[in-house]
Structure 1
Amino acid sequence: MATGSVKTHAAAAEEFLKDGERSHWHDETLWHVRQKRDTAAQKLPEWESLRDVASQIKDYVLSHLDGLLLQFEQKARENGIEVFWAKDAKEHNEHVYRILQENNVTKLVKSKSILTEECGLNHFLEEKGYDVVDTDLGERIIQFNKQVPSHIVMPAIHLKKREIGDIFHTHLGTEAGADDPGYLTEAARQHLRQKFIEADGAVTGVNFGIAETGGFVVCTNEGNADMGTHLADIHIACMGIEKLIPRAADLGVFLRLLARSATGQSITNYTSHFHRPRPGKKMYLILVDNGRTAQLGREDFRNSLKCIRCGACMNTCPIYRRSSGFSYNATVPGPIGSILSPGTDLKKHSSLPFASTLCGSCSEVCPVKINIHEQLYKWRQVITEEGPPQPAKKWAMKFGGMVMSKPRLYDFLGKLARRSLKNSPKGLIYNRFNAWGKKRDLPDVPKESFKEWYQKNRKS
C-alpha cells in the first residue's frame, strides 16, 4: 500500500517488471559486474584481511568521529581550505549558493557526487538560475534524460545503447540511430570539453577525507573531477561526515577495496588528492550531517555509516537486479539504501527493508563488512512495531507460529496442502490473493516432505 503519493517498492518494482526483456537484461548486466568483482577479489590472497582491516578502521572512525572531525577541520583550515558545516540538505545547498554568489561564479561544472544528489543541489541551483553541468558521462546522460541516478556507481545502467544514442541525437546532434559507444563517448567528450573551459566554478564529492592531513581524495574513472577543478578558480568539495579515515596510511586499504568491489578494476583510473588551493584559486569544503549523527546514535544501524559507496551490494542483490534502482525511490537504492533511508523518513521508506530475500549476499560482498541483511531484519522489526496496524498480517503470523510450534499439526497441514495444490484447479491457486503467483509459477508439489524422506532414508 503506497504512502500518500509515494509508491511502495513492490508497486514501483511491478512497473519495471512489466518490461520482462529489460528486467532480464538489467539482471544479467549487474550480475556480470558482480562476477568481475569476484574475479578481482580472488586475485588478492589478502582480500579478506583487507576487509577486516577496513572494517576495523571504520569502527574506530565511528567511535571517535567527533574528535576526528575537529582534527580534520583544523588541518584543512591550516592548509588554506575554507570549511563549512551543514546540519542538513538545506544548509548545504545554501552554503554552495552563497559561495557561488560571493565569487561571481556564473558557469558551474559538477563531478559525480551522491551527497549532492541526496541534497537536491542541482534542482536548488537551477531554481536560482544556474545551469549545472554534470560531467560524469553517466550523470550527463541521465541529466539530459531528466532522471535521477538508478545506481550510485553506474547511474545510467538502466539505459540501453540505442536509448543513449537517441538521447545524444536530441541533445548533442549525433547521427540518428547511432549507438556505437566509441562514437557516443567522443561526442560527449567534445561537448563537455567546452563546458570545462567555460566554467569558473567546480563542485566535487569526496570519497575519503584524511583527518591526519586535512586533505581529501576524489576517485573517478573519467578524470572529469580533475578537469573541472584544475580549470576553474573555485572548487567546492561536498563531504558526508562519515567519509573520514584517520591517517594517510589507511588510504591504501580502501583504495584496494573500492574499485575492485565496484566494477572489478584494480583501482580507479584517477585517484586525485586535494590538500590546499593553488595560488590564485579558492577551495571550499562543506561537511554535511543530514541525518548521519542520528544514524550514528542507533546502535543497531550505526554500522551502515561504514559504507564507502562501492555499489557491490546492489550488483549482487537479486531484488535490486530485477527491480532497478528507481523502485527504491531513494538517492541510495539497493540493500545499503534500504537500511539508510528508513532512518531519514521511516514512513516514506517503510517498504524498503522488506525488499530483500535476507540471503546475506549483500553482507558477503561488502568491502567493509557491514551486516546489511541483519540490519534489514532489524528494520523490519522496528517498522512492524512502530508502523500502522496490519491485523491480517498479525493474525496470519500468529496462526503460522501456532502451527509451527505443534509438530503433528504442522505435518498434517503440510500433507493437506500438498494434496490440495496438486489437485486444485489452476484458477483457484493463481488469483489476486496469491502475490507469489503474479509473476511466476509455484514449484512442483513434492510427493513427501523432507521430514518424511529423511525418516525413510536416514539409515542409508
Structure 2
Amino acid sequence: MSIEQQISRKQRPPFHDRTKEAIEHPFLQKAVRYTQDRLRGGKKRAEAEIGNWEEWRLKAEAIRRHTVEHLDVYLDQFTTNVENAGGTVHFADTSQEVLDLVTQIVRKKEARSIVKSKSMVSEEVDLNHVMEQQGVEVVESDLGEYIVQLADEAPSHIIVPAIHKNRQEITRLFSKEAGKLLSEETAELTAFARKRMREKFLQADIGITGCNFGVAESGSVVLVTNEGNARMSTTLPDTHIVVMGMERIAPRWRDLDVLLTMLTRSATGQKITSYVTALTGPRREGEADGPKEMHVIVVDNGRSSMLGTGYQDVLHCIRCGACINVCPVYRQIGGHAYGGVYPGPIGAVLTPLLEGFEGWTELPYASSLCGACTDACPVRIPLHERLLDLRADEVETKQTPWSERLAFKGFGVLAEHPEWFEKAAVMGHWMGKPLADQEGFLQKGPGPLKGWTDSRDLPIPAKTSFRKWWRKEGKQDG
C-alpha cells in the first residue's frame, strides 16, 4: 500500500518516512517544482497588473478580521437569510455530527448516488469513505479530485489535487475505470472523464459541494471553479447539500468582491475563474432547474476553539494555496508528506489546531521559518509566527521528547553560568575532535546530532572561546 493510500485511510507512516519517500520520488520532485513556479509566476504577474497589491491585502485582511471578530452575528444573519430563501441550515460541532447529518438526509431521500464538487471540509470528515461504507456511490466531479479518488488517495494540493500524478498513472486509472485501454492523449482522457461525469450528473440523487464563501446579507452560497462541475452538481440532483466551514462568511457582496479578487489572483494568477456560482436557496416556483431542497451544514470541527486566542487569525484563510506555492519545504516533500487534509504552511498550522498535537507534533517544525508564506498570504496571516507559537505550545505542554527537554534545560543552566559554559565549550572541542574531519566539521554526528549532519556539516566548538580570546587580546592592547 502506498503512503498516499495509507494517508487517505488515516494510517499514516511516521513523518520522516513520509518525507523520505517524497524526496526520493523523481516525478513528484519535478511536478511540484513546475507547478509551484507556474502558479507563483501567475500570482506575481497578477500583482503587477493590479498595481496596488499591498492595499488590496490590507482591505482583504480587514474584511476577514472584522468577519471573524463578529462571526456569531454574521452566521446568524446568514442562517436567517438561507432559511428565508427556502434552505435549511444545520450546525455540526464535530466531524461525526457532519456525517450523521449527511447520513440522515441520504436515508430520508433513499439516495443511492452522490456527485460532489470540490470540498476540503468533506475531506476533513472523510465523507466519501463513510458514504461508500453505507452502500452509497460517491463520485468526485472535479477532474483532479476524480483522479485521486480513483487512486484512493488524498489530495496533495489545495487547488491542484492531483499534482503528484503523471500522465501514465492517470491513463492506467482511467483505463481501469473504462474497462478498456485508453491512449495517453489528453483529448481522449478528458473526453472519457467528461462522458463519465455526465452520466453521473444525470443519475445522482444528491449533489454535495463545499462553499468558498457564504454571503451573510443574502444567504447565498458562492462556489468558485474552473470546470463548471459545481453548477452541474447543484443543478441536476433534487437535493443539494453544502458542507461549509463556519468561518467561510463574507458579510456583504461588496466584501465578496475584494475577497474574490484576492482569491483567484493568489491561487492561479487569474483575474477571475471560469465559473463563479452564487446560489440562493433551492428551486423556486416557476424555475426550470435547480434542487428541490438545499441543506447547508455549517461545520465547527475545532474552529471555534481558535476564537479569542492568538490563533484566531488562522481562520482568516481563504484557501487560495498561495503559501503552498512559495514554501521551500513543500517544494521538497509535496503535499502527502504533511499527512493531513491541508498541506503546506497553512496545513502545518491548521492541522494541529483542528486535531490536537497528538500525531501532528512534527508539523510546526516542517518549516524553514523563512516567512515567504506570510509575505504571500493575501489576507496577511503571519503564518511563520503561528508556527513559532505552536512550537512554544508544544514545549509548554511537554509534547517534545524528554531528551530534548533535558538537553535544553541543561543548556539553560550552562547559559546562566558563564564559567561553566566556557568549560563545557572547551570540553566539547576535545570530545568532538576525534570525530571531526581535517577542517573541524562533524560529517556524521553521533546520537541526536545525526539528524543535523545527515544534511549539513556541524563545526565542533573552537579550541579557544571568543570570551577567552577577548580577555587575552584586551590585556595585550592595554
Q: TM-score, normalised by structure 1?
A: 0.88
1:342 equivalent in structure 2: 352
2:145 equivalent in structure 1: 139
2:452 equivalent in structure 1: 436
- Describe how 1:199-278 pairs up with structure 2 within 5 A: 199-278=204-283
Count of equivalent residues: 445
The structure-2 alpha-carbon separation of the partners of 1:278 and 1:152, relative to structure 1 and needing over 3 Å to count, comes to: same
The structure-2 alpha-carbon separation of the partners of 1:382 and 1:45, relative to structure 1 and needing over 3 Å to count, comes to: same
The structure-2 alpha-carbon separation of the partners of 1:71 and 1:25, relative to structure 1 and needing over 3 Å to count, comes to: closer
Kept in 2: contact 1:54–1:254 (CA 8 A): yes
Deviation at residue 199 of structure 1 after TM alignment: 1.4
- Describe how 1:296-315 pairs up with structure 2 within 5 A: 296-297=307-308, 299-315=309-325
Bigger CA radius of gyration: 2
Kept in 1: contact 2:131–2:138 (CA 8 A): yes
Kept in 2: contact 1:8–1:351 (CA 8 A): no
**Greater mean alpha carbon deviation, residues 245-254 or residues 96-105:** 96-105
Q: Distance in 2 between matches of 1:153 and 1:223?
A: 15
The Cα offsets for residues 350-373 of structure 1, whole Å up to 9 and x where unpaired, read as 111011111111111111111110
Q: Distance in 2 between matches of 1:230 and 1:62?
A: 31
CA RMSD of aligned residues (A): 3.1
Deviation at residue 36 of structure 1 after TM alignment: 1.8
Q: Distance in 2 between matches of 1:32 and 1:196?
A: 32
The Cα offsets for residues 314-352 of structure 1, whole Å up to 9 and x where unpaired, read as 111111121121111111121111111112221121111
Q: Is 1:318 matched up with 2:323?
A: no
2:296 equivalent in structure 1: 285
Deviation at residue 200 of structure 1 after TM alignment: 2.4
Secondary structure at the counterpart of residue 184 of structure 2: coil
Q: Distance in 2 between matches of 1:313 and 1:418?
A: 42
Secondary structure at the counterpart of residue 247 of structure 2: helix
Q: Is 1:57 matched up with 2:63?
A: yes
- Describe how 1:143-162 pairs up with structure 2 within 5 A: 143-162=149-168
Kept in 2: contact 1:24–1:322 (CA 8 A): no
Deviation at residue 279 of structure 1 after TM alignment: 3.2
Q: Distance in 2 between matches of 1:76 and 1:352?
A: 37
2:76 equivalent in structure 1: 70
Secondary structure at the counterpart of residue 77 of structure 1: helix
Kept in 1: contact 2:442–2:453 (CA 8 A): no
The structure-2 alpha-carbon separation of the partners of 1:35 and 1:436, relative to structure 1 and needing over 3 Å to count, comes to: farther
Kept in 1: contact 2:263–2:378 (CA 8 A): yes
2:108 equivalent in structure 1: 102
Gaps of 5+ in 1: 456-460
Deviation at residue 122 of structure 1 after TM alignment: 0.7
- Give the aligned residue type for 1:262: A
Q: Distance in 2 between matches of 1:11 and 1:283?
A: 43
Q: Is 1:36 matched up with 2:42?
A: yes
Deviation at residue 91 of structure 1 after TM alignment: 1.1
Q: Distance in 2 between matches of 1:404 and 1:181?
A: 65
Gaps of 5+ in 2: 1-9, 286-291, 471-478
Q: Is 1:365 matched up with 2:370?
A: no
The structure-2 alpha-carbon separation of the partners of 1:429 and 1:443, relative to structure 1 and needing over 3 Å to count, comes to: closer
Secondary structure at the counterpart of residue 359 of structure 1: coil
Deviation at residue 18 of structure 1 after TM alignment: 2.5
1:458 equivalent in structure 2: none
Deviation at residue 427 of structure 1 after TM alignment: 8.6
Kept in 2: contact 1:6–1:348 (CA 8 A): no
Kept in 2: contact 1:330–1:341 (CA 8 A): yes
Q: TM-score, normalised by structure 2?
A: 0.85
The structure-2 alpha-carbon separation of the partners of 1:383 and 1:5, relative to structure 1 and needing over 3 Å to count, comes to: farther
Secondary structure at the counterpart of residue 423 of structure 1: coil
1:397 equivalent in structure 2: 408
Kept in 2: contact 1:301–1:339 (CA 8 A): no
**Greater mean alpha carbon deviation, residues 40-49 or residues 207-216:** 40-49
- Describe how 1:175-190 pairs up with structure 2 within 5 A: 175-176=181-182, 178-190=183-195
Deviation at residue 287 of structure 1 after TM alignment: 0.9
Deviation at residue 22 of structure 1 after TM alignment: 3.2
The Cα offsets for residues 194-234 of structure 1, whole Å up to 9 and x where unpaired, read as 11111121011100011111112011110001012111111
- Give the aligned residue type for 2:366: A
Kept in 1: contact 2:243–2:298 (CA 8 A): yes
2:476 equivalent in structure 1: none
Q: Distance in 2 between matches of 1:145 and 1:247?
A: 40
2:388 equivalent in structure 1: 377
Deviation at residue 382 of structure 1 after TM alignment: 0.4
Deviation at residue 119 of structure 1 after TM alignment: 1.2
Kept in 2: contact 1:202–1:229 (CA 8 A): yes
Kept in 2: contact 1:10–1:355 (CA 8 A): no
Q: Distance in 2 between matches of 1:278 and 1:315?
A: 39
